[in-house]
Amino acid sequence: MTQVKHCQIAIIGAGVAGCIAALALSRHFQVVLIDKQPACPDKVGECLPPAAARILRNLNLLKDFEQRQDLHLPHYSMQSRWGSEQNLINDNLSNPDGLGWQLNRAGFENWLREQVIAHDVDTLWPARLLDAQPGSDGWLLYLAAQTQAAQQSIAIPCHFVIDATGRHSAFATKLGLKRTVLDKQIALWASLDCGIKNQLACIEASEQGWWYSARLPAQRRVLALQTDSDLLNKGLQHDLPQFCSLARTQPGLKTLLPQGIEHSGTMQLHGVVSANSTCLTQAAGHRWAALGDAACSFDPLSSQGMFNAMATAMQLANSLGEYGLCDADAAIEVTRLHQAQIKSVWQHYLSHRAHYYAQERRWPDSPYWQRRQAHKNAEFS
Ligand SMILES: Cc1cc2nc3c(=O)[nH]c(=O)nc-3n(C[C@H](O)[C@H](O)[C@H](O)COP(=O)(O)OP(=O)(O)OC[C@H]3O[C@@H](n4cnc5c(N)ncnc54)[C@H](O)[C@@H]3O)c2cc1C
C-alpha cells in the first residue's frame, strides 16, 4: 500500500546542499528531506573554505560545529607545485573569515543530518526517487523507502521540489534534462593513517593529471589522483602498492607516505569517483530547482563545491521565503532568479578553471594537459 506524506517543499538529496536548504527553508515552510542512503558513507572532498563560516553562523550552527573537534582541523594553507617545480604556499592567515577547515567529510554530513532532525524537519532515508509527475500546483513524487524489513512505496504531493542529488541530478534527469559535460576527469582516492606532523594541504601537477593530499581529523590523511577516465593506468584503482609508487614519484608526496604504509593495513584505496566539470542545461523550471552539484559540479581543483552547494541553497531559500509558494508568477520569478544565479556562478567558475589550467605548461605532449589548454566555455541553452 502506498503511504502519502504531505509537505510544501520536498528536497531530494541530504548532502551539503540538501541539508543546508532544509535548515534554511524550515524557517518558512514544511519541508521533507529525502536521501537514498541511510547515512553519509565515506566520502572524499574535505576542504571547507572560510566563507562557509558565514552560512553556518546564519543558521546558528557555527558554535556547535566549532566545538565538534572530531569533525575538523584548521585549514592553515595550501602548498602547490603547479606550473613549475617551485613550492608555493597560499595561506588563509589573513582571511577575515578565518582559516577554514579540513573535514571528516562523512562525519560533517552526518552532523548536518543530525541538525536537520534537531530542527524538526521531516526526514526520509533510505528512500529512492522512482518517479515525478507534475500536478496543478506542484509535483507528486513517488519513492521506494526501506522501512525496517520491508520496502514501502511513498507518494509525496508538494508545491516545490529541490533536486540536491549531486551529479546524478536524479529529479531533473527524470524530466528528460541533460548535463553539459566538459571533461572526463575522475579522482582515484585513498586514506591513510598519518603521524607525520605536516599540517598543510598540497596540490602537485604531474604528467597524467594532478594530486592532492590533506590531513584529516583522527590522524588520517587523504591522497587523491585526478586524471581523465581514459588515461588512468589499467588496474591502478585496485593496486595500492602501484598507487603509492606513483605518488612517491611526486616530490611533495613522497615525504607524506611512510615507507611500507601500503602493506600496513592502515591505508585504504577507496576507488574512483567522478571529478569532472558538468552542469545541467536548465537548473530550474516549473516549481523545481537544482542545487549544488546537481546544478553544476566543479573540478576539485576549485575546492569550492561545498561552499557553492551551501551558498546556492541559502539564496534559493531566501527567494522562496521572500516570494512564497502560492502565487504562480512568484514561482516563475523564483525560477528566473535561480537560473540567473547558477548561470553566473558557472561562468565565473569556467573563467577561474581556464586561468588555473593555463598556468601549467610543463607537459605539452600529455593528452591530459592538451585537453585542458583547449578548453572552451560551455554555454547554457
Ligand atoms: C575528488 C573530489 C574532491 C573534492 N574536494 C572538495 C573540497 O576540498 N572542497 C569542496 O568544497 N568540495 C570538494 N569537492 C566537491 C564536493 O564534494 C561537492 O561539490 C559536494 O559534495 C556537493 O554537495 P551536494 O550536496 O550538491 O551533492 P552530494 O554531496 O553529491 O550529495 C547528493 C546526495 O543525494 C543523494 N542522492 C543521490 N541520488 C538520489 C536519489 N535518486 N534519491 C535520493 N537521494 C539521492 C546522495 O545519497 C547524496 O547524499 C570534491 C569533489 C571530488 C570529486
What domain count does the chain have? 2
Is residue 234 included in any domain, yes or no? yes
Is residue 96 included in any domain, yes or no? no
> Which residues span the domain enclosing 157?
2-46+104-181+277-355
246 and 221, same structural domain?
A: yes
Q: Residue 86: is it exposed, middle or buried by C-beta count within 10 angstroms (0-12/13-18/19+)?
A: exposed
pLDDT above 50 for 380: no
**What pLDDT, in 10s, does the model give residues 160-213?**
999 999 999 999 999 999 999 999 999 999 999 987 666 678 999 999 999 999
Of 220, 245, 274, the domain-final residue: 274
Is residue 64 included in any domain, yes or no? no
295 and 147, same structural domain?
A: yes
125 and 199, same structural domain?
A: no
The confidence score (pLDDT) of residue 375 equals 60
**Over residues 318-323, mean pLDDT:** 95
| 75 ligand 1 Cβ < 6 A | no
Give the distance (Å) from ligand 1 centre to CA of residue 365: 33
224 and 177, same structural domain?
A: no
| Residue 159 DSSP class | S
Give the distance (Å) from ligand 1 centre to CA of residue 177: 19
Q: How far apart are CA 98 and CA 44, in angstroms?
A: 23
Confidence tier at 256 by pLDDT (50, 70, 90): confident
Give the distance (Å) from ligand 1 centre to CA of residue 166: 5
Give the distance (Å) from ligand 1 centre to CA of residue 269: 19
Strand order in the sheet with 31-34: 122-124, 31-34, 9-12, 160-163, 288-290, 284-285
Q: What percent of the chain has pLDDT over 70?
A: 96
- Beta strands 138-147; 127-135: pairing state: antiparallel
Q: What are phi and psi of 347, to 5 degrees?
A: -65, -40
Is residue 321 included in any domain, yes or no? yes
160 and 36, same structural domain?
A: yes
Is residue 78 included in any domain, yes or no? no
| 331 ligand 1 Cβ < 6 A | no
| 52 ligand 1 Cβ < 6 A | no
**What pLDDT, in 10s, does the model give residues 88-106?**
887 766 777 778 999 999 9
The confidence score (pLDDT) of residue 358 equals 95
pLDDT above 80 for 83: yes
CATH number at residue 223: 3.30.9.100
Q: Taking Cα atoms as reference points, which of 40, 80, 22, 60 lies closest to residue 292?
A: 22
Is residue 253 included in any domain, yes or no? yes
pLDDT above 50 for 74: yes
**What pLDDT, in 10s, does the model give residues 47-59?**
999 999 999 999 9
Closest atom of ligand 1 to CA, residue 307: 11
The confidence score (pLDDT) of residue 136 equals 73
How high is the mean pLDDT of the chain? Answer: 93
